[in-house]
Amino acid sequence: MWNKLIFVCRSDTCRAPMAAALLRECSLKRELEIKTRGLVVLFPEPINQKVNAVMISNGINMEGYMSAQLVAEDVDDDTFVLVMEKTDIPKVLAIIGEERASQVEVLTTLVGEELEIMDPYGGPLPAYGLCFESLSKTIKKLAAWINEQEDARV
């Protein structure tokens, strides 16, 4: 089983950082390196202001966060990549290599949900709140899945 998990979204300033921060808040049965990356990051940027507002209102501090571009070197045999949308899989594989296709999955598909995590980028603050709520439920399912995988290993 992998020891590094990378959440990927388009700009690495919204959904991926929210997902990573939420997973870090969960109780996992094993240590896991949790990172985020973007598909189009021309230069490092802080978290989206609306994301920051939503995270702070939910007691999660994202101070000092900076986005980073996904590069092939981010992914080794010990890495699992979770994307927010199915259309992002080919873009990720173009960066990390087609041979790593088994290491890339849509977050919601992995945990048995039908709908993908909507991108609130450019929308009003309530859209970011809805995205947070959706991600929160999904990440709890992901944490349970990770813990089940760990139990199966023992």
Each residue's pLDDT, cut to its tens digit, for the chain (154 residues) gives 799 999 999 999 999 999 999 999 999 999 999 999 999 999 999 999 999 999 999 999 999 999 999 999 999 999 999 999 999 999 999 999 999 999 999 999 999 999 999 999 999 999 999 999 999 999 999 999 999 998 888 7
Short-list 80, 81, 96, 87, CA closest to 116: 87
pTM for the predicted model, two decimal places: 0.96
28 C-beta neighbours (distance < 10 Å), count: 15
Q: Which residues pair with 37 in a beta bridge?
A: 8
Q: Which residue type, as a one-letter code, is found at position 52?
A: N
Asked if residue 84 lies in contact with residue 8, where contact means CB atoms within 8 angstroms, the answer is yes
What is the sign of the dihedral through the CA atoms of 129, 134, 135 and 141? Answer: positive
Burial class (CB in 10 A: 0-12, 13-18, 19+), 74: middle
First to last CA, the chain: 12
Which CATH topology does 4-153 take? Rossmann fold (3.40.50)
